[in-house]
Amino acid sequence: MRIAYLQCFSGISGDMFLGALVDAGVSPKLLMDTVAALGLDAHLEISRVDRSGISATKVDVWVGGEKDQPRDDNWRVRRDKQVHARVHDHQHPHPHVHDLHTDPEHEDDAQHAHHAHGRALSEIRQIIERAPISESAKARALAIFEALGKAEAKVHGCNIEQVHFHEVGAVDAIVDIVCAAVGSETLGVDEWVCSPLNVGGGTVECAHGRFPVPAPAVVELLKGGPVYSSGIEKELVTPTGAAIVSVLATRFGELPPLRVEASGYGAGSRDIPGAPNVLRLIVGEAVQESRQTADTISVLEANLDDLNPQVFGYVMDRLLAEGALDVFATPAQMKKNRPGTVLTVLALPQDAERLTRLIFAESTTLGVRMREERREVLVRRSLPVQTPWGEVQMKLANLNGTVVNYAPEYEDCRRIASERGVPLKRVMQEAIRAYLDQQNE
């Protein structure tokens, strides 16, 4: 299995991600041709730069003859991924997405220019859907933009379709995100893994005033992911960078065991003394587990013959929510010929006592049997696949490096079926088909 690992020790932005892709072997011409085909009066400038002694690839997006201009301290004029939703007065009923960092001396001019042109997410979807790229790359680009839009909508308490991306910022973000989707697909990896993210520190100036780092949309996008600050008083993770991670990465953690095949460094805009402002991308073949793993679990059992079935369902849900590995019920014939149920709970040994107390508190049993058992467990991982309605995680089980079981994640399929009005079984079938097609490519 081919793995791509993102080391975000200096954060991540859209341009850093593109630079790392190019440095790791993605064709610069491919990305340049992709931008030209979008027809948005934009192009890429790719160069080599030095960041605290590290040679890295810098990708700049030019839009209408302008490119990013970094400024000192905690704010700068950036016409890229730094987007921020702003709710206007009654004359402007839709929230607009502005450049997050705005030069206060030119804020009025910038707002006036931006008000004239705004792109709703629906328009951006049309641009991406018309783009001459693969269907899977389109799906990935749409997923990243929708993640960004949902985060901004959540932060500002509005509907995602009310979020408008202003003209320059929208074009820059479209370029970054579409190129990220095309480039990440071209890299040909099976799984993206991400390190904990260094988000930076200090504050940033935006249209609403001064905000602490990380920006609100970044916090929303990185929910569930590990973040930290190394003490650098600068914003290191941008909303677009966070959106890319939220869609691509299937897990977070340390560098997994792999045989390194390629690596790349994508440069940020600033050269931070003593701290290389780069994103490192490592690509390689995973070192396969030689066998399934073994562990010890606790098995808790209780006989129940007088518990309301409605309460039984609640007890099962509580046990799972409190960390049980599995909970199931087995019909049994109890004393006095009464039908009953055997409640069985599988748990980690360190959780056994706590879950036993919960069984006593929530059920009518007078006793819980406990024992420890050894079990063999297949190595498991998740892999994202694209369906016509969105991304679904496929659960894969490996034995000696070979996938022996695969199944779509039920919750992903159920959510898509509910949101899109599609039969659940069709969503699951499409997810399996997408996985098999991906394996046969």
Percent of the chain residues topping a pLDDT of 70: 84
End-to-end CA distance of the chain: 14
Structural domain count of the chain = 3
Does position 2 have pLDDT exceeding 60, yes or no? Answer: yes
Does position 383 have pLDDT exceeding 60, yes or no? Answer: yes
Residue 329 belongs to domain spanning = 293-377
**In this predicted model, what pLDDT tens digit does every residue of 153-171 receive, in sequence order?**
887 778 777 776 654 457 8
Whole-number pLDDT of residue 208? 62
For residues 94 and 164, the answer to whether their CB atoms sit within 8 Å is: yes
Whole-number pLDDT of residue 169? 57
Is residue 346 located within the same domain as residue 255? no
The CATH number of residue 301's host domain is: 3.30.70.1380
Does position 73 have pLDDT exceeding 50, yes or no? Answer: no
Is residue 279 located within the same domain as residue 317? no
> What contacts 236, CB < 8 A, 6 or more positions away?
10, 11, 12, 197, 198, 199, 200, 213, 268, 277
Whole-number pLDDT of residue 157? 79
Whole-number pLDDT of residue 287? 76
Domain boundary among 286, 316, 333: 286
Instruction: Write out the two tokens for 435.
Output: 């996985």
> What contacts 254, CB < 8 A, 6 or more positions away?
195
The CATH number of residue 419's host domain is: 3.10.20.300
Does position 149 have pLDDT exceeding 80, yes or no? Answer: yes
**In this predicted model, what pLDDT tens digit does every residue of 275-327 receive, in sequence order?**
899 999 999 988 765 455 667 899 999 999 888 888 999 999 999 989 899 99
Whole-number pLDDT of residue 100? 34
Is residue 413 located within the same domain as residue 386? yes
- Tell me the Ramachandran region of residue 437: left when phi exceeds 0, alpha when psi lies from -120 to 50, beta otherwise: alpha
Domain boundary among 377, 397, 412: 377
Is residue 343 located within the same domain as residue 221? no
Reported as type and span, the H/E element at residue 397 is: strand 390-399
Q: Which residue has the higher pLDDT, 336 or 167?
A: 336
Is residue 144 located within the same domain as residue 213? yes
Q: What CA–CA distance (Å, rounded) separates 2 from 282? A: 11
> What contacts 425, CB < 8 A, 6 or more positions away?
none
Taking alpha carbons only, the member of 166, 43, 69 closest to residue 115 is 166
266: β partners = 57, 279
Whole-number pLDDT of residue 105? 31
